[in-house]
Structure 1
């Protein structure tokens, strides 16, 4: 069952096409990773899903309802955490959390206390005294204390230290185990790789790749380091081999995943002494789409 679906979603700002036919599907109990550089259209998409922006054309539906027309009803079952949290400076963190939870109409007080302990959060300080990381904790604790069916996290761990990032990841895994759905927009690729069932890569307002990590692995290369009894000859002529480097006694290179079998057969005839391989990562996949794109370099400093 689809909790969220967009069809041919577009958004124009004057002559600028911010989104160009974005299609997304998020199922019940699924964590969807939404990745791309600044300026790619991630935050614009999220604002449309939240009912803050109206799409120029196309459709965005959450829980079967229209994201723009039925935003109030949708928000009763949705929790959102932005990447840059602004709070009331004269209220304490605890007061803000209580306010957010009460606005939703339902919340578990014991869950709130548990989360404050897990995130090592002091609720007694005024918000003006909080660091960026502590402001982020206020938003995360508020969202995770709520009874939501869909969580939308836009760069949620911005400002958090690695230990708190791990706590957040545990909370997402717990929400998934309870059948909740999550959209995670993040530039921390290891976080997306660890948590997400499905991934959508957006570039210049278009989803250029989407699917499970397993389905997208064919687009990545495996890193190989090998030592052999005899020097390997003509490796550069073997199909699917790239970036060959000599490192002391070893030879390192990258191999297209679909050519891995033939490459291993080829190098084994030189007498394998040592063979190490590193599996392809989401970062390999992500960079493969951008490393040769001048538009990526030009747009990387912009706003999403």
Structure 2
């Protein structure tokens, strides 16, 4: 069953086309990743889903209802967390959480208190004294403690430390296990890889790829830098090796994660002096894969 359906949506701001024939579908009970570089159209899409913007053309529905005409009713079933939370400075964190929850209807104080404890949040302080991370916790606690059916997270872990990011990730998994739906917009590829069932990649207002993480395996390539006692003979012949570069005794390349064991076994036989590995950043992903792809399309 589809919770979100976006069909052939265009959005113009004057002469500027922010979204171009964008289509996407999010099913009930799944975590759907929505990624792309800054300015790609992620926030515009989310504002249209929330009924904050009207599409120039195309159709958008949530729970089978029109996102623009039925926005008020749809909001009762949604929880939204933006990447930069602004709250009332003279209210306490607890008062703001209760206000957000009451706006969505009935809520459980037990569930609210549980999430306050899990996020290690002090609800007694005035909001003006909170850091960005604590303001983010207000919105996250309000979302997780709600009875929403659809959760829309737009860079939700901005300002959170790694421990609180883990609390967030566990909360998202619990939402899915309860049969509810999540749309997650994030620039943290590792977060998307851990959580999402499917991913859509947006570039210049268009969905250029979508599928499962396994189907989009180039997202999970690791960047490897290695220096060995003896030079490699034919590492390029090994499956899963991409973007091979050599500078003296130092070799750098990208490797598909499913071939990591084979690659490490191979380079170990040459005597490792130094080995570094790190996941690709979203910026690097778009520079390496999508900008190159875009340039080829423009030249053809």
Name the TM-score, length of structure 1 as normaliser. 0.82
Counterpart in the other structure of 1:289: 286
The alpha-carbon distance between structure 1 residues 230 and 26, as it changes in their structure 2 partners (threshold 3 A), is same
Q: Distance in 2 between matches of 1:256 and 1:141?
A: 36
Matches within 5 A, 1:125-204: 125-204=125-204
Give the 3 Å change call, closer, same or farther, for CA 66–278 of structure 1 in structure 2: farther
Q: CA deviation at 1:288?
A: 3.6
In structure 2, the residue matched to 1:244 is: 245
Counterparts in 2 of 1:279 and 1:26: CA distance versus 1, 3 Å: farther
CA contact (8 A) 2:85 2:136 kept: yes
- Give the total of aligned pairs: 288
Is the CA contact (8 Å cut-off) linking 1:229 and 1:271 kept in structure 2? Answer: no
Indicate conservation of the 8 Å contact 1:227/1:251, yes or no: yes
Partner Cα distance (2:39, 2:248) in 1: 38
User: Could you say which residue in structure 1 is the equivalent of 2:99?
Assistant: 99
Which residue number corresponds to residue 208 of structure 1? 208
Distance 2:172 2:30 in 1: 10
Residues 237-279 of structure 1: CA distance to partner in whole angstroms, max 9, x if unpaired? 999653233685x855345799x7xx98xx97x995679x999
Instruction: Give the 3 Å change call, closer, same or farther, for CA 232–41 of structure 1 in structure 2.
Output: same
TM-score using structure 2 length: 0.83
Quote the RMSD (CA, aligned, Å).
Answer: 3.5
* 1:67-101 alpha-carbon deviations (Å, 9 max, x no partner): 11111111111110111111111111111111111
**Structure 1: how far apart are the matches of 2:134 and 2:254?**
41
Contact 2:189-2:282 within 8 A present in 1 as well: no
Q: Distance in 1 between matches of 2:77 and 2:59?
A: 19
Q: What stretches of structure 1 of length at least 5 have no aligned partner?
A: 297-304
> Secondary structure at 2:120's aligned position in 1?
coil
Rounded Cα–Cα distance in structure 1 between residues aligned with 2:4 and 2:112: 27
CA distance, structure 1, for counterparts of residue 167 and residue 257 of structure 2: 33
